[in-house]
């Protein structure tokens, strides 16, 4: 009842009475973390304790049956400024048209590579262990601007997604265009996806990402492989990243672990990360989370900064091995 009243109030706020169904959903994600390996003002190793907002969001969505088996929809997601007293930050915001042909979306949207990566990250949106700590390279985990995307219907578990986006590179109207394709398969316990993503830059960037997961009862196994050529348009910035993880649920408790390694071509500046954690469900919508992660940087590598939206913006000192421990809560609504 309360959720329905909230939805009606928000619908009035956004002046969207034309949509027959308006919903409000989201998640609040907060934790306290300690982290080492920070570059302080002197550039040396330092430690700190922080309260983090790990991508707390609110989504207002609406849909309308327009006949002929078709629906028009809108989805507006904002990042909530839980810890910094700032303003709402726009995230995925798009209009959609769906029917027997599939769905077309226009607006701002996560890249197909990011969507695939999120599906196999056991520590997604946590200060410690988030896979983007290691996979961040060029536009591999980007959110595209000016997106037009097509998502096909499922053909016996097989789905195709195609998208075009602009990153709006300053001073060059043609640079930063991203063309993306994803083929995914989901059938029973098995889920697989293959992504190809090309960004027009001085040296064209190419991202290939393969992900998979397999669920056996209360056990889930996940894996990712990523290759990025000319990351950010830099000809020598080629990286390869792979990761594996496992989660075991026992009643309200889920134990989980994952390991990622990142190799920079023609360089000794490589990185590795392992993470362990436990989730405890207090209810269907609220859970407590604890996690520990350790990153090992070779040479002058600086991996280990948080990959989570709205989280800490700490800089990792070159060659340091950052370690993070976090205790937090997530409430979904």
Give the tens place of pLDDT for each residue, 312-327. 667 777 888 889 999 9
- pLDDT tens per residue, range 19-74: 567 999 999 999 999 888 776 544 555 677 888 899 999 999 999 999 999 999 99
Q: For residue 7, what is the enclosing H or E element?
A: helix 2-13
Burial class of residue 280 (count of CB atoms within 10 Å of its CB; 0-12, 13-18, 19+): middle
pLDDT at 242: 96
Q: What value does the mean pLDDT take over residues 103-118?
A: 95
Q: Band of the pLDDT at 11, cuts 50, 70, 90?
A: very low
* Tally of structural domains, the chain: 1
Task: Please report, for the domain that includes residue 195, its CATH number.
Answer: 2.40.160.10
Q: Which two tokens stand for residue 314?
A: 């700490």
- The residue ranking higher by pLDDT, 226 or 270, is 226
pTM score, whole prediction: 0.86
pLDDT at 91: 94
List of residues 6+ apart from 185 with CB closer than 8 A: 157, 158, 159, 191, 192, 193
For the chain, give the percent of residues with pLDDT over 90.
Answer: 62
CA atoms within 13 A on the CB side of 79: 19
Q: Among 126-140, 157-171, 254-268, which stretch is predicted with the lowest mean pLDDT? A: 157-171
Q: Band of the pLDDT at 210, cuts 50, 70, 90?
A: very high
Q: Band of the pLDDT at 79, cuts 50, 70, 90?
A: very high
Domain extent, residue 74, equals 2-332
Q: Cα dihedral angle (312, 316, 322, 327), rounded to 10 degrees?
A: 0
Q: Among 12-21, 234-243, 319-328, which stretch is predicted with the lowest mean pLDDT? A: 12-21
């Amino acid at each position: 009842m309360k959720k329905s009243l909230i939805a009606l109030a928000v619908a009035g706020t956004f002046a969207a009475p034309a949509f027959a169904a308006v919903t409000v959903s989201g998640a609040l994600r907060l934790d306290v973390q300690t982290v080492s390996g920070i570059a302080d003002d002197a550039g040396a190793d330092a430690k700190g304790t922080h309260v983090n907002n790990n991508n707390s969001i609110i989504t207002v969505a609406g849909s309308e049956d327009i006949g002929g088996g078709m629906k028009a929809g809108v989805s507006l997601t904002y990042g909530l400024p839980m810890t910094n007293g700032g303003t709402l930050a726009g995230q995925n915001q798009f209009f959609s048209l769906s029917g027997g042909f599939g769905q077309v979306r226009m607006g701002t949207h996560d890249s197909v590579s990011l969507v695939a990566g999120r599906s196999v990250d056991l520590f997604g949106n946590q200060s410690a262990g988030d896979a983007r700590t290691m996979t961040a390279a060029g536009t591999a985990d980007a959110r595209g601007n000016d997106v037009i995307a097509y998502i096909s219907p499922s053909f016996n578990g097989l789905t195709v997604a195609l998208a075009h986006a602009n990153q709006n590179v300053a001073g060059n109207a043609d640079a930063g265009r991203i063309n993306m394709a994803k083929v995914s398969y989901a059938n029973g316990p098995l889920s697989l996806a293959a992504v190809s993503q090309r960004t027009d830059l001085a040296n064209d960037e190419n991202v290939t990402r393969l992900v998979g997961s397999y669920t056996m009862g209360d056990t889930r196994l996940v894996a990712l492989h990523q290759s990025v050529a000319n990351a950010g348009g830099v000809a020598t910035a080629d990286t390869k990243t792979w990761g594996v993880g496992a989660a075991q649920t026992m009643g309200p408790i889920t134990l989980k672990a994952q390991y990622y390694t990142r190799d920079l071509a023609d360089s000794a500046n490589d990185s590795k990360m392992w993470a362990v954690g436990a989730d405890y469900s207090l209810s269907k919508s609220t859970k407590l989370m604890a996690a520990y992660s350790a990153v090992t940087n070779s040479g002058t590598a600086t991996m280990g900064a948080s990959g989570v939206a709205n989280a800490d913006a700490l800089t990792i000192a070159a060659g340091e091995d950052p370690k993070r421990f976090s205790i937090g809560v997530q409430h979904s609504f």
